[in-house]
Amino acid sequence: MKPRHKRLFLVLGIVAGVSISTALVLNAFRDNMTFFITPSEVMAKSEMPERRFRIGGIVEEGTVQRDSESTRVEFGVTDTKSSVKVTYYGILPDLFREGQGVVVEGRITDEGTFDADNVMARHDENYMPAEAEEAIKRAGGDPSEFVDY
């Protein structure tokens, strides 16, 4: 084998190795990415992604319903324009309240209910999750109505 052919095979091997590594890294990122969608965007879309995603907004007043025999909780998340019904099984964060910012993570069911497996509430009264603030702004609302800046 000529030295020229050896260099060609070496370059092709390096290119193939870098390509395979890049494909594996991008595949790992795709599996761990979670998209953020506002309640208005959820209501506007006819087909929702099969993957997990986040919804952010305000816990709608008067919508929190707790099941007395289980940890099931239903509530609405609104961006002041549209609302999405959320079902969650588990213990809610201590700061979860009606009228406060929240971000939920999970999947939309065939019935149109958002089945959350993670609920994140704000951590003090002067903070609103960035995703919740963005959802309210996208809907044309004013996030300062819900927190004391």
Give the annotated binding-site residues. Answer: 123, 127
- Cite the annotated binding site for heme by residue number: 123, 127
The DSSP code sequence of 45-84 is -SS--SS-EEEEEEEPTT--EE-TTSSEEEEEEE-SS-EE
Token pair, residue 138, equals: 């996208």
The DSSP code sequence of 88-149 is EESPPPTT--TTSEEEEEEEE-TTS-EEEEEEEE-SSTT---HHHHHHHHHTT--GGGTS--
